[in-house]
Structure 1
Amino acid sequence: MNSLFKDACTSSVADGPSLHEIQQTAKRLDGLIVETPVWRWQSGIVEQVLKPSTRVWLKLELFQHTGSFKLRGAMNCVASLDAPALRQGVAAASAGNHAIAVAYAAHSVGTHARLAMPRHASPVRIAACKAHAAEVHLTDTVHEAFALARRWVDEEGRTMVHPFDGPQIAQGTATVGLELMRQVPQLDAVVVPVGGGGLIGGIAAAVKQINPDCIVLGVEPFGADAMYRSFHAGHTQTLERVATIADSLGAPYTLPYSFSLCQRYVDAIVRVSDDELARAMHWLFRDMKLVAEPAAAAATAALFGPLKAQLDGMRVGLLVCGTNIDAPRFAEHVERGAALNSEPQMAE
């Protein structure tokens, strides 16, 4: 299906976590994270527009501690620190979900977190970080946030916990795939939202080592499609600007490690519009009663959008990755989605 992408770069590809390493990571994280549930989606839009033979399961990672999958990678990084590193503390830069995860992980193991967050970050997410005893510094841009976090590493000896890149992040996110493949054996396809690639890279490594025939597909917003562009270019890409309601998927670039994992294990990346994300948020709320942030609706948007013809009739797992959104913004997006879903073209 995606041989062009697979052939683009076969050298210098990260081996990624082995299945044994993923299993060992799951044991290490046992008791520190939640094994999130899977729920079969059988009502509403699934009945209305998909073939009766289609089976759809939602991996509900929004029920994770801190409200997103980010805790898996952050906890794996922080819990592996030795005593001197724990005394120095950790640093991170993030617009929200990763920052919350690092704050929670640091507090859990008794170390201190300094977090650089852009001022446009949701107040709900900033408050969640402070609730876990993290020290939060606000910057004008995401780029300034990363520069500040790196300065803390250089000047204070803190350990940087990256939001999406590196072996420990991939080991942590891979445990999502390990759980899913045990919870729903013999899936035909797994669909995963893509920001920087750390989530899908880890999940795909687990899925493909357990069942090489299972298709792994990534989803990005049109306004934040660095991984899509990287796949087509055959090397990492940087975006000039990011513009999407899915702020959790707004990574402005790809990095070598996570990109190489995606090249090795991911079959294709597709893109969805903000309108499609809003529609999917509405379906998840209406049919499944889930409060999903825009990023968490990306896999659903792809199933009923660019992937519908390809996946209809298959056994499909969709990752619902997070729920950290304030009530007014959630209502705004769901109302937008409801209005779009009531238009004539959705009457099928």
Structure 2
Amino acid sequence: MVGPTLTEISAAAAALEDAIIRTPVLPLSASRWERILPDCASVTLKLELFQQTGSFKARGALLGIRNLTADQRAAGVVAASGGNHALAVAWAARQAGVDALITMPRATDPERIAGCEALGATVQLYDDMAGAFTAMNTAAEGGRVMMHPFEAAHMILGAATCGQEYQSQAPDIDTFVIPVGGGGLISGMACAIKQTNPIAQVIGVEPFGADSMYRSLEAGMPLRLEQVDTIADSLGSPLAMPMSFGIAQAHVDRVVRIDDGEMLHAMAHYQTNLRITAEPACAASLAAILGPLRDELAGRHVGIIACGSNISLARYAALMEAS
């Protein structure tokens, strides 16, 4: 078995039950969606943005920190992130009484920085993400435990609990459309989904400007991009990595790409129809079924996910105005 087994996933879900929210699912069947959605048998949305700290990342981060040894807890943890992972690690560390250092780019949305500090984490700012990752590596060499945003067994297992949960809530879904950043979410969810329903389709979604998983699956090995260019900072991983890539390769049917304009269009639909202020990554699944997947979904029961939304009103307004 490539990736966690159903037994391992169920055990992880039970271990998280005291702290993690079983996020709701919503059938997009209201009349306001009729002329917007493709001609599917049904479209169901999992509202994972209502998870602790606003994203699925809380699941894996809490698993990882709870599994630390006593010596590791005493040393503290470090994570480099400009978004949802930073908030998740800060929250999970606070839950466990562990000191957390978060290294972030200066351009990070100020609301995310403030959120990490409010959770008790120490935040250090650097000129760019490369500088933040260098600082994280230095802190890890000094003894702190590195909390990688996706290339870690606990992050994939946390995402798998989300996949298992989604299937139990909406067992009729036969096509899952899942955003791809580094690959932790889709590898974990796909691993859980395919073990329960091997004939279900799992389709990933990446921005054209950050399509490392698409290119890696095409090449048959993990690749690094020369540059990242997308408004979806939560999907902006410059590379695929061996563990998450290997699980995705085993369980994901394919990956499609969308442009930034399609995400902005989907963000507007969420605001108009559900009053959800979605960050670009949160709208990626919807953008894919309205765009490149639209014509092939007729008659299918489709599941999409609002994977997280930590965006300030100022940033949201700036994106929508620019569009």
Name the TM tier (shorter chain): over 0.9
User: After superposition, where does 1:190-201 map in structure 2 within 5 Å?
Assistant: 190-201=176-187
Shift of 1:224: 0.6
Matched with 1:268 is 254
User: After superposition, where does 1:65-104 map in structure 2 within 5 Å?
Assistant: 65-104=52-91
Shift of 1:335: 4.9
Return closer, same or farther for 1:37/1:179 CA change in 2, 3 Å cut-off. same
Deviation track 1:281-330 (CA, whole Å, cap 9, x = no partner) reads: 00111112211110000000000000111112211110101110010221
2:299 aligned with 1:313, yes or no?
A: yes
User: After superposition, where does 1:170-319 map in structure 2 within 5 Å?
Assistant: 170-319=156-305
Distance 1:52 1:220 in 2: 23
CA contact (8 A) 1:138 1:145 kept: yes
Instruction: Tell me which amino acid in the other structure corresponds to 1:266.
Output: V
Shift of 1:44: 5.8
Distance 2:40 2:302 in 1: 11
CA contact (8 A) 1:278 1:336 kept: no
CA contact (8 A) 1:117 1:142 kept: yes
Instruction: Tell me which amino acid in the other structure corresponds to 1:232.
Output: E
CA contact (8 A) 1:41 1:288 kept: no
CA contact (8 A) 1:272 1:302 kept: yes
Matched with 1:130 is 117
Q: TM-score, normalised by structure 2?
A: 0.97
CA contact (8 A) 1:95 1:117 kept: yes
CA contact (8 A) 1:92 1:160 kept: yes
Percent identical pairs in the alignment equals 47
Shift of 1:52: 5.6
Q: TM-score, normalised by structure 1?
A: 0.90
Number of residue-to-residue matches in the alignment: 323
Distance 2:163 2:302 in 1: 13
Matched with 2:100 is 113
Matched with 1:343 is none
Distance 2:260 2:223 in 1: 22
Deviation track 1:126-176 (CA, whole Å, cap 9, x = no partner) reads: 000000100011111212211111111111x11111001121111111011
Return closer, same or farther for 1:51/1:127 CA change in 2, 3 Å cut-off. closer
Return closer, same or farther for 1:171/1:334 CA change in 2, 3 Å cut-off. same
Shift of 1:50: 4.2
Question: Which of 2, 5, 10 is matched with 1:23 structurally?
Answer: 10
